[in-house]
Structure 1
């Protein structure tokens, strides 16, 4: 692992300070992932 940010489903860890934009982007990303996951469950 190299860099300043680690993203995983349900978790967010940063080695530097966060600003509001990064937090909002993370939440948006999680919402999209949840929608994709829900759609996959419906396709089964």
Structure 2
């Protein structure tokens, strides 16, 4: 568990902890091809 905590602390700025954290992304859009049409939430 200590190794996971150390990893998160080391790369803290690369994690989103809320939806608001994701709003700033303005990079290239990503499309993921699924095997079926079921919605993912």
TM-score by length of 1: 0.27
Greater relative contact order (Cα < 8 A, sep 6+)? 1
- Report the structure number with the largest CA radius of gyration: 2
Structure with the bigger percentage of helix: 1
Higher strand fraction (1 or 2): 1
